[in-house]
Amino acid sequence: MQNLGVDPTAPSIVAKAILAYLEFVRSPNGRLVVVVLSLAAFAIIVLWARGGARHERWPSVVAASLMTILVAGIYGIAVAAGWWSGAYFRTPALVQAATLLPVSVVAWTAWLAGYGWLTARTRRPLLIYGMVALLLTLAVGIADRAELSGGLVLVAEDGKTWLNALIGLGMMFVPVLLFEGIRRGLEQDVLP
């Protein structure tokens, strides 16, 4: 941990978990495990989409995958431009991709599965999702002020992470719109 250029006595459990992860992926075996787990996560998502209510699942996975491509592009630009920094962003690009891509696909798929669940049970799923997204944005701002990552993951200057969180708030509805478009398109193709 001393080679990572950070204080290993960071107080938060989040910072300690990030440090442990960074130490793990510094080894070739750690990198291999991350890549294998990444591939397994993708396989599980595809298997999940093939079962059950396909009219809900495939649109979720496709929209989540498209959103992940967008997020990966933004991520790459932000890291290359130096906007995002910290020990995590100095790990090998393969490890970052193997971490970002499956986590992003799984998170967006879960986000959309929740939205699909809400659409079947409420009349105002977008309003509910708007409130959830607002709470997530607030949580990011609080986590930034509490410095939970201990400087290991810096996505903005001190106290300005909320701006990124607001952009993220808007981005949370892009996959919902993609999902709705794909789902409605499939319903029109299936129905006479």
pLDDT at 185: 85
pLDDT at 151: 67
Side-chain-facing half-sphere of 160: CA atoms under 13 Å: 7
**What is the average pLDDT score of the chain?**
83
Helix, strand, coil in percent for the chain, rounding step 5: 75, 0, 20
Instruction: Tell me which of 55 and 42 has the higher pLDDT.
Output: 42
Mean pLDDT of all residues in 31-53: 88
Confidence band of 2 (pLDDT split at 50, 70, 90): very low
Using the predicted structure, report yes or no on whether residue 5 has a pLDDT greater than 70.
no
DSSP strand E in 44-178: where?
A: none
- Which of 46-60, 67-81, 85-99, 168-182 is predicted most confidently? 67-81
Inter-CA distances, 95 with 14, 16, 21, 46, 173, Å:
19, 19, 11, 22, 28
pLDDT at 104: 92
Percent of the chain whose pLDDT exceeds 90: 26
pLDDT at 95: 87
Using the predicted structure, report yes or no on whether residue 158 has a pLDDT greater than 80.
no
d(CA 183, CA 72): 24
User: Global pTM?
Assistant: 0.77
Using the predicted structure, report yes or no on whether residue 11 has a pLDDT greater than 70.
no
pLDDT at 1: 46
Provide the residue ranges of all domains of the chain, joining segments of one domain with +: 2-190
Using the predicted structure, report yes or no on whether residue 97 has a pLDDT greater than 50.
yes
Using the predicted structure, report yes or no on whether residue 28 has a pLDDT greater than 60.
yes
Confidence band of 75 (pLDDT split at 50, 70, 90): very high
For the record, the structure tokens of 53 come out as 């209510």
Q: Is 7 helix (H, G, I), strand (E, B) or coil?
A: coil
